[in-house]
Structures are given as C-alpha cells and as structure tokens.
Chains A and B, each alone.
Chain A
Amino acid sequence: MKLWIISAIGIKECFRRRILYGMFLTAGLFIFLVRGCDSGTVRGERLLLDAEARASIAVSIAFHGIALWSFVLCSVLSMSVLARELDNGTALLTLSRPIRHGEFVAGKLLSAFIVSIMHLATLAIMLLVFVPAPHRWKIVLGTVFLVPALMLCTLMTSVFSLITPRVIAPLLAMMVYGTSCWAALPYYFDKLRLIWTPSPAITRAYQFLPCFGDLQFIGAAVVRGASFGEHLTGTVLNTIVYCVGLWIVNVILFSRRQRS
C-alpha cells in the first residue's frame, strides 16, 4: 500500500518533467508523418516489394523507433528518481515514517517505470491508429516484450545514477542497451550471420549482457509475424536475474548513501 503512495507522488513528479512532453510530441509527430508518406514503389536490385512487405518494414522501423524512444525517456526519468531524493534531502521525512528502504526504492522506481510504460503504450496506440498494418494486434503483442526491457532500463539507470553523476547515468544505460542490441544482431538475422560470425568473446558478452537486444528483436519478430527463434527461455531467465540483482543493488546503494 505504502509502495503505491510513494509511487503516486513519483508519477506526479515525473509528469512535471518537460522532457516527457517534448519527447512524446516529437515521437507523435514522426508517427503522424508516416501516415502522409506515399509508400510508392520500392524496387530493389533483384526484388520488388509488395504493399504488405512495405507495410511490414514500415511497422518494424516504427516499432524499433518507439522502443529506442521509450528507452531514452525511461533512462532520463530513472536517472533522477532516487538520486534527486538523496541530493535534495526529500527522502528524509518519508523515511522517518514506518517504511522500509526497499519499499521506498520500489515505489520511486515503479513511478518512472509506470510513466515509461504509459509513454510506450501511447506511442503504440498511435502506431495502431496511424500506420496501416495487416495484423494490428501483433503490434500490441510485440510491445509487451518491451515492458521487461523498460524495467531493466529503469533499474540499471538508477544504479548508474547512484554511483556516477546523475547526467552520465542515462548515457551509460544507453551504451549498455546499444551494445546488447549490437551483440544480439547476428542471432536474429540469418543473412547477417553469413557475413559475420560472432567471435567467442562476443558470444560470451552477448550471454552475460542484459537482454535488451533480445527483447526488442523478439518483439520485432512478433510484429512482423516471424518466428523469434530459440532465445526466449534464456532471455526470460537473463531478464529475471538482472532485474532481481539490480533491484538488490539499488536498495543497497540507496541505503548506504542515505545512511552515510
């Protein structure tokens, strides 16, 4: 119950951030512009894309676009939730109530996560409305895979914000996100594997990095109606382990900084 009370205040705080509206409007404008584009005729060197293939590519690009946009917003919101409480000293009064540090941390992180989900959901709905797609429900299903990725992003950015200057935290989180996507590429694109076989070092890094890339590519595969390969179980396990681990690290770091 107290977790939701803290979270409600956090959500209110997030909605005061102008960047939220700025990013939402920018994303909305791009999605709206897609509607005005004439798909025309796309002729490759050896193939002619039909209308459905073109729509599928457009939806995929839009999906990856909203994923990237949501990660950026999520990391920007998450960098402040705990670090700002410590810097401003506003946590002091709340923590003098019968609340565990874990509850407080969960409530604050939940607020950034919820606002990011709301942003993602709104963009996905706009995508549904403005972009013609043969299987619209697949967009919804694909977006669901971004939810755990946003949770990971929230937890990771918050950890970075507690150990580095606040502004660096989203950059670090986006670096991890980018590396994870890059490392996952050959495992989801067969044709890429023909020209690039990942080295054992890259494979190891891929296995141990948080599965941002996997979650996004699995979501994209669902949107395209393609199969998402054999990586689902590993991705789910990796995400759970990372979420639990990062959550514990968040609580420990916050408590240490608060009580020091």
Chain B
Amino acid sequence: MQSAIVTRDLTKRYGSVIALDGVSLTVERGEIFGFLGPNGAGKSTFVKILLHLVKPTAGDASLFGVPVHEPRARKNVGYLPEHIRIYDFLTVAEFIRLHVRLAGIEHDAVRKEAEHCFEVLGIASLRTRKIGTLSKGMLQRVGLAQAIIGQPELLILDEPTTALDPIGFADVRRLLLDMRRCGTTIFLNSHILSEVERTCDRIAILNHGSIVAIGRPGDIAKKDHYLEIIADGITDEMLAQITSKLKISIGRDGSVLRAYPQREQDAAALHSMIAMLGGRVRSIRWHSETLEDLFCRIVHHETVDHQRNRD
C-alpha cells in the first residue's frame, strides 16, 4: 500500500532564499504527523507544494503514490490553510456547498454532506451568516468544516487551532482523533507543541528548510535524557578522571553537571565516584527534555550553526 505522503529531495528557492533544502519525508497512512518549525522554516511552502499550489525548484512529491501535479492526487485531500481567506459575500451554507461540489461529491448527496460537516463542527447555527461577518474562531471552524468534506483520506492542517478558544481546541483534538480512527492520515503544521505532543504519532522539526529531527515525540525527547548533578568541590581534573573511567560525556556549568550516561546504572557509579574523589553531591536526578525544550534547543542550535556557516 502506498504511503500517504512521500517527498524526495524537495527543494524550493525564491531567488537567493532557500525555503526548502532537499526535504525527504514519508508519512504513512493512518498516522497523525506533526510538522514543527519556527516561523519562516518552510512549513507552509512544503504544504503548498504537496497541494501543487507552489512548484518545487527540484525534487518530487506524491500523495498516495500519485504525483502532486496531477489533480487526482488532491481528490481525497482536505486542506485548511493558515490564513483562511474565503469569498466574504457567500453565506456559510453556500461556501460549504461550493466545496462539497468542488470535492466531486454526487449532486444528490451535496446537502447531506454539508449538513454532516455543520454538525461535526457545531456550526449549524451559522448556516445563513455571511462569511464576512464571522469572528476569527468561527471562520476557523468553517474552514475546518470544508477541510473534512467527504471524509478525506489525507487532512492537511496548517495551524488549525490558532484562533480557537479552549473548547474549540478540545473539539479539534477530538475531531482529529476520531478521523484517525476512521483511517484518515493527518498532517498537522502547528506551533502549539503541547498539542502536537499529545496528538501526533510522529513529528518532524524543520529549520532553515531542512528536517533536523524526526521520529516519535517520546523517542526524540528520550535521546536527550540526561542526568543533572549539583555538586560542590568538583575540579576539572576530577571531571577528566570520571569521564575517562566511566566513558560518560559530562558538561559543566558552575556547580551543575550534565551527564549523558548510556545506562541507568551509571548514575549510581557516577555518584560514588564523585564522592570517592572528594566531591559532595547535593542533588542528582534524571532529566528529560519536553518537546518544547527540544524544539527550542534544536532550533536555536541550528540557527547559530546556520549563522556561523553563512558568516
């Protein structure tokens, strides 16, 4: 069975600016995939290439095995852009019916499908309202309603919860999980890291147009599982001895040591060795980075490297 999204060496340049730099990514069917990155990292460009709204400079992309330049690739795809712009003279019902028809749904089923979308997103009361009179949150719900038309096989959401209140937030999470249960693949561009951590099966972090980390949120964070030791009387010689004997990489910031042992047992060995060499351990604890810590660290680190390379 074909993967939902496959891209190979996807590159996009705007003049001298590189928006995407050889991005290769595979999103399997039925997973919720989180796509993270700071502003200007190239996330929206990537999404637009998937929908053939932007042409890549190099590389190729396919949805369910169909190259993105073919209209049939978008046949079962729902999309919610980051800044939703709709014909403001239409009513909500007219807008939804327009997209039901554009999605290729049979003429007889148009009304039924539109009603289903109203119900799922709780916007039935907005049917007769003009789009131009809606608040940002309502507009976001209407946008989501058009994205789920026809139970798409792939749902691409660019910042879907930006304008929503906490209830809307929870509704969207519930909706995404329900859709995943029905087999929909969800590609989620978001800045709300806690939300991504709770909802996504896998994530990728994009920075300066390249993927800098990819995997399950727990696994990525686990890579940066370290031991934080606060100790007095530690000299550089002592650190060198511990490092060479236990083969543990240790960083130091004053009295705070950051050790990256390979095994859980190394914590006890480290503690006894510090004591043996004359140091006094005040506290020792395992520390795992949250996705937010990881995101900030990776993005910051990459940005510094990028700047250095440019200089």
Binding site for B on A (CB under 8 A): 2, 5, 9, 12-13, 16, 88-90, 92-100, 258-260
| 29 sampled A-B residue pairs with Cβ under 8 A | A2-B102, A5-B102, A9-B90, A12-B90, A13-B87, A88-B85, A89-B85, A90-B85, A92-B81, A93-B81, A93-B84, A93-B99, A93-B143, A93-B146, A94-B102, A95-B51, A95-B52, A96-B53, A96-B77, A96-B79, A97-B102, A97-B103, A98-B74, A98-B75, A100-B71, A259-B53, A259-B54, A259-B55, A260-B14
Q: Of residues 124 to 181 in B, which have CB atoms within 8 Å of A's CB atoms?
A: 143, 146
* Given A93-B84, A98-B104, A259-B53, A13 and B89 contact (CB-CB distance below 8 Å): yes
The residue in chain A whose Cβ has the minimal distance to the Cβ of B74 is A98
* Given A96-B74, A97-B103, A259-B55, A9 and B85 contact (CB-CB distance below 8 Å): no
Task: State in angstroms the CA–CA spacing of A260 and B49 once bound together.
Answer: 11
* Given A92-B53, A96-B79, A259-B53, A16 and B89 contact (CB-CB distance below 8 Å): yes
CB-defined contacts of B104 to chain A, threshold 8 Å: 98
Indicate if B101 sits at the interface (CB-CB under 8 A). yes
A98 touches B71 (CB 8 A): yes
Q: What mask results when residues 82 to 115 of chain B are scored 1 for a CB within 8 Å of chain A, else 0?
A: 0111110110000000110111100000000000
Task: State in angstroms the CA–CA spacing of A258 and B143 once bound together.
Answer: 21
Closest 9 A/B residue pairs (Cβ): A96-B79, A97-B102, A98-B71, A89-B85, A259-B55, A98-B74, A96-B51, A98-B75, A5-B101
Task: State in angstroms the CA–CA spacing of A92 and B51 once bound together.
Answer: 10
Q: How far is the CB of A16 from chain B (nearest CB, A)?
A: 6
Q: How far is the CB of A153 from chain B (nearest CB, A)?
A: 24
Indicate if B72 sits at the interface (CB-CB under 8 A). yes
Query: Chain B contact residues (Cβ within 8 angstroms of A): what range?
Result: 20 to 34
Task: State in angstroms the CA–CA spacing of A211 and B146 once bound together.
Answer: 44
* Given A100-B71, A258-B53, A259-B55, A93 and B101 contact (CB-CB distance below 8 Å): no
Among A2, A93, A95, A99, chain B packs the most CB atoms within 10 A around the CB of A93
Q: How far is the CB of B227 from chain A (nearest CB, A)?
A: 48
Q: How far is the CB of B72 from chain A (nearest CB, A)?
A: 6
Task: State in angstroms the CA–CA spacing of A99 and B146 once bound together.
Answer: 16
The residue in chain A whose Cβ has the minimal distance to the Cβ of B101 is A5
Task: State in angstroms the CA–CA spacing of A16 and B132 once bound together.
Answer: 14
CB-defined contacts of A13 to chain B, threshold 8 Å: 87, 89
Task: State in angstroms the CA–CA spacing of A93 and B55 once bound together.
Answer: 16
CB-defined contacts of A100 to chain B, threshold 8 Å: 71
CB-defined contacts of A12 to chain B, threshold 8 Å: 89-90
Given contacts A2-B101, A93-B99, A96-B74, 13 further A-B contacts (CB under 8 A): A9-B87, A9-B90, A9-B98, A13-B89, A16-B89, A93-B84, A96-B51, A97-B74, A98-B75, A100-B71, A258-B53, A259-B54, A259-B55
B71 touches A99 (CB 8 A): yes
B99 touches A97 (CB 8 A): yes
Task: State in angstroms the CA–CA spacing of A92 and B55 once bound together.
Answer: 14
Q: How far is the CB of A54 from chain B (nearest CB, A)?
A: 46
Task: State in angstroms the CA–CA spacing of A9 and B98 once bound together.
Answer: 8
Q: How far is the CB of A5 from chain B (nearest CB, A)?
A: 5
Among A97, A99, A258, chain B packs the most CB atoms within 10 A around the CB of A97
CB-defined contacts of B99 to chain A, threshold 8 Å: 93, 97
Among A89, A96, A259, chain B packs the most CB atoms within 10 A around the CB of A96
A93 touches B86 (CB 8 A): yes
Partner of A5, one of B54, B84, B98: B98
Q: Of residues 252 to 295 in B, which have CB atoms within 8 Å of A's CB atoms?
A: none
Task: State in angstroms the CA–CA spacing of A258 and B51 once bound together.
Answer: 12
Task: State in angstroms the CA–CA spacing of A149 and B51 once bound together.
Answer: 36
* Given A96-B53, A97-B74, A90 and B102 contact (CB-CB distance below 8 Å): no
CB-defined contacts of B102 to chain A, threshold 8 Å: 2, 5, 94, 97, 99
Partner of B86, one of A5, A16, A90, A95: A90
B55 touches A89 (CB 8 A): no
The residue in chain B whose Cβ has the minimal distance to the Cβ of A6 is B102
CB-defined contacts of B72 to chain A, threshold 8 Å: 98
CB-defined contacts of A95 to chain B, threshold 8 Å: 51-53
CB-defined contacts of A5 to chain B, threshold 8 Å: 98, 101-102
CB-defined contacts of B54 to chain A, threshold 8 Å: 259
Task: State in angstroms the CA–CA spacing of A9 and B84 once bound together.
Answer: 18
The residue in chain A whose Cβ has the minimal distance to the Cβ of B49 is A259
